Structure 1
Amino acid sequence: MNAGIVLKQMVVIFLLILVGYILQKKKLVTQKDGACLSKLIVEVFNPAIIVSSVIGSSNNGEENITGTVFLAAVLFLVLILLAVPISKIFAGGCEEKKIYSLIFVFSNLGFIGIPVVQSIFGKGALIYVAIFILEYNILLYTYGYLLVMPSDSKFHPGSLKSLLNMGTLSCLLALLIFVCHIRLPYILGTTITYLGNVATPLALIVIGISIGQQEHLYRIFCQWKLYLFLIVKMILVPLFMAVVLKRLPISEELAQVSVILMAMPVGSMTVLLLKENHMKETLCSDSIILSSLLSIVSIPFLVYCYRLF
């Protein structure tokens, strides 16, 4: 990873977010339009880019699949364990501890993770992202639900049906195509590729639209405690992981992708979990917006530091 190249890519990402922000401020899109575009990205375009990443693949990284599955599980476990003391440091009450734990573990691997990894490493590296997203979804609908549920509630197995979403299914399909060397017909493969090409710019524009919808954006930038938390989440923890991963017998690309994914901003699904359980989502919403903007600087800085180890 070259820090200069990554910085240029993050500037491009920032400009795409800025386009969405301007569209919102100019009233060219409504809140309903933004919600509709988000749904299309989640249900159509992101799944398409995951599948298209393995179409025509040479399978050079097939030997890394098992290692990636194990590595992703270990990294998520580390995040869960670290979330306990970190949430105690930054949170004031029991509910706030749950929220800090939630936003510490669950990052934006889809909306921002996919565009960033693709822009830095190319489409071929998205097979690693697919594995991380697959495990992320399983964790979100099990640990995530248990974390924010009221203490007197019982976990309902029916909520596991949420695992059968387009994100999970597309990751499974991509792994199947990759491992089994399946060749899709040209027309089908090209159609999926075209749909996937829409994902990156549109997802970033939608983030800008979301930021533009905030009425009190200035308030978000005045939360020093949230800044400190995000520095720990998006810089210090990924740097610690980078030191460890660079010394493990894994491919350099897998190590780099893993570090980048661990440095992603807070995931948007966390807000939905809190709303579903009637918890305040202000802290969560603020962290999503602030971390998304900070990532434009934090990721190039992380890449620069990675090269020093």
Structure 2
Amino acid sequence: MNNNVINQVIILSLVMMVGVYARKRNIITGETRKSLSDLLMNITLPFLLISSFNFNYSENMIVNARTIFIYSILIHVILIFASKILAFKYPENSQKVLRFVTIFSNCGFMGYPVLEGLFGKIGIFYGAIYNIPFNIFMLSAGVMIYTGKKDLKTLKSVLVHPGIIATVLGFLMFIFQIKLPYPLYTTLSVVGSMTTPLSMVIVGAMLAEVKFKEVFKGTLVYYASFLRLMVVPFLTLFILKLLNADRLLLQVSVVIEAMPAAVLGSIFAERYGADTALASRSVFITTVISMITIPIVVMFI
């Protein structure tokens, strides 16, 4: 498992460095970066979400799937409110990033490989179910945190977001065991697989605009890392212990919440005018530190 975690961290870091290089050489410009963000949000991410629901299931798995789905809703609702308290004293632009980092983990690229290393394919199955509310909250509450708007117009735009639509379609395909034709599924899968490297390249391009010494400067990024990597997973463990959760479902949930900051936090910061430097630094620092903290969290569960 440790090798799995270390390998994922190294891969993430190297792909980010590609983005740094491309931005430094002006291969990626400011306008290009925004276009890439739109490509990710409107095409590659929805394709990834739809293709991730290609599972067969048994009846007893459905019961557990329903349970971990409810756990995910509960945990994310608690984190949404807790993050407001934990971030209230900071400037608005930084507060938005800090809240997003606290609530949302990088549960896809790093989460699935670690779950498979620990629990096998069943870990990926439950992880995918746990991530349904995650995706819905990230594209609704996450967007609202950055925009600061809670009106019906904003909610409507969130509900028709390509990512939300893709999540609903994928879930329906899973429930009714609808299998897409091989060429169509492969197209979705191949294009969707671009999401992680594209995300990391964009983050690297953002980091390239921050002076290297600034990446490790200040206490706020370390506070964000502490919340994301230690407070959130152990709070999740405490909540599920109180609920007397099934051991496997508890372990899967805690491992997902032990992942570093969600890459999309940087994309959202770019898109909605928040502190992009803090967002990209948080992704980078939490990813590196997670090589130490994930094994610590796993040891406790």
**Match of 1:115, as an amino acid?**
F
Gaps of 5+ in 1: 150-154, 276-280
Map 1:129-278; keep pairs closer than 5 Å: 129-140=131-142, 144=145, 148=148, 155-163=150-158, 164-212=160-208, 214-245=209-240, 248-250=244-246, 252=248, 255-261=251-257, 263-265=259-261, 267-268=265-266, 271=269, 275=273
Contact 2:68 2:129 in 1 (8 A): no
How far 1:217 sits from its partner (Å)? 4.2
**Would you say the 8 A contact 1:141–1:159 is kept in 2?**
no
CA contact (8 A) 2:146 2:268 kept: no
Partner of 1:152: none
1:294 is aligned to: 285
| Structure 2 SS opposite 1:307 | helix
Secondary structure, aligned partner of 1:264:
coil
Name the structure 2 match of 1:70: 70
Q: TM-score, normalised by structure 1?
A: 0.79
Q: 1:105 offset after TM fit, Å?
A: 4.6
User: What amino acid maps onto 1:62 in structure 2?
Assistant: I
Is the Cα–Cα contact under 8 Å of residues 20 and 204 in structure 1 kept in the other structure?
yes
Return closer, same or farther for 1:22/1:257 CA change in 2, 3 Å cut-off: farther
1:83/1:104 contact within 8 Å kept: no
The question of whether the paired residues in 1 share the 8 Å contact of 2:261 and 2:286 is answered with yes
Q: Aligned pairs, how many?
A: 286
Pair 1:296–1:5, CA change in 2 (3 A): same
Judged with a 3 Å threshold, the aligned counterparts in structure 2 of structure 1 residues 205 and 134 are, in CA distance, closer, same or farther, namely: same
- How far off its partner does 1:101 sit? 6.3
Q: How many angstroms apart in 2 are the aligned matches of 1:85 and 1:307? A: 27
Q: Where do residues 55-134 of structure 1 align in structure 2 (5 Å cutoff)?
A: 55=54, 57-60=55-58, 61-88=61-88, 91=89, 95=92, 99=96, 102-103=99-100, 105-107=102-104, 112-121=106-115, 124=125, 125-134=127-136
Query: Do the aligned partners of residues 29 and 191 (structure 1) sit closer, same or farther apart at CA in structure 2, a change above 3 Å counting?
Result: same
C-alpha distance 215-296 of structure 1, shift in aligned 2 (>3 A): closer
1:264 to 1:26, Cα distance in 2 relative to 1, 3 A: same
Deviations 1:41-76 (A, max 9, x none): 111112111111222x22254333322332122112
After superposition, the CA RMSD in angstroms is 3.0
> Does the aligned pair in 2 maintain the 1:47–1:166 contact within 8 Å?
yes
Q: Which residue of 1 aligns with 2:32?
A: 33
Aligned CA distance change for structure 1 residues 226 and 211 (closer, same or farther; 3 Å): closer
Within-5 A mapping of 1:8-23: 8-23=7-22
How far, CA to CA, are the matches of 2:268 and 2:103 in structure 1?
Answer: 7
SS at match of 2:41: helix
Distance 2:37 2:146 in 1: 22
Which SS does the other structure have where 1:308 is aligned?
A: helix
Percentage of pairs with the same residue: 19
Q: Measure the CA separation in 1 of the matches of 2:189 and 2:172.
A: 17
Deviation at residue 127 of structure 1 after TM alignment: 4.0
In structure 2, stretches of 5+ residues that fail to align are 117-123
Over 3 Å counting, the alpha-carbon distance change for 1:36 and 1:253 in structure 2 is farther
Aligned residue number for residue 44 of structure 1: 43
Distance 1:171 1:115, change over 3 A: same
Q: Distance in 2 between matches of 1:49 and 1:295?
A: 23
Q: Taking structure 1 as reference, are residues 115 and 156 closer, same or farther at Cα in structure 2, changes over 3 Å only? A: same
